[in-house]
């Protein structure tokens, strides 16, 4: 996989996947198109992390993607929960 694709995917995963699809530069991956679409919408960082494992990339990329997924999941969960509580 291209290092630029992996780096951009850390911070802008959906935009990176969309741009790669539109420019026909998607990395080789073992998932089929329906799985790509659903996972690209719901959990794009985990989809790219799965691709890094499947393509035998460095384990560092996989760890970074999982950590970023937990980090952004936690931030998104806290802001949504805090908006729902009104004192």
Give the pLDDT confidence of 5-61 residue by residue, as tens digits: 989 998 999 999 999 989 988 888 888 989 988 998 998 888 898 998 898 888 998
Phi, psi of 85 (to 5 degrees): -90, 125
Q: What is the dihedral of CA 4, 45, 72, 69, to 10 degrees?
A: -110
**DSSP labels, 8-64:** HHHH-HHHHHHHHHHTT-PPP-SS-HHHHHHHHHH-HHHHHHHHHHHTT--HHHHHH
Report the predicted TM-score, pTM, of the whole model to 2 decimal places. Answer: 0.75
Q: Among residues 63, 70, 57, which one has the least CA distance to residue 3? A: 57
Average pLDDT, stretch 59-83?
75
């Amino acid at each position: 996989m291209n290092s630029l694709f992996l780096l951009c995917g850390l911070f802008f995963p959906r935009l990176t996947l969309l741009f790669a699809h539109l420019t026909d530069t998607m990395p080789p991956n073992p998932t089929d198109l329906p799985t790509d679409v659903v996972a690209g919408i719901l959990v794009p960082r985990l989809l790219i992390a799965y691709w890094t494992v499947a393509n035998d990339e460095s384990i560092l990329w996989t760890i970074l993607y999982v950590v970023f997924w937990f980090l952004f999941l936690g931030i998104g969960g806290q802001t949504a929960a805090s908006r729902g509580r009104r004192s």
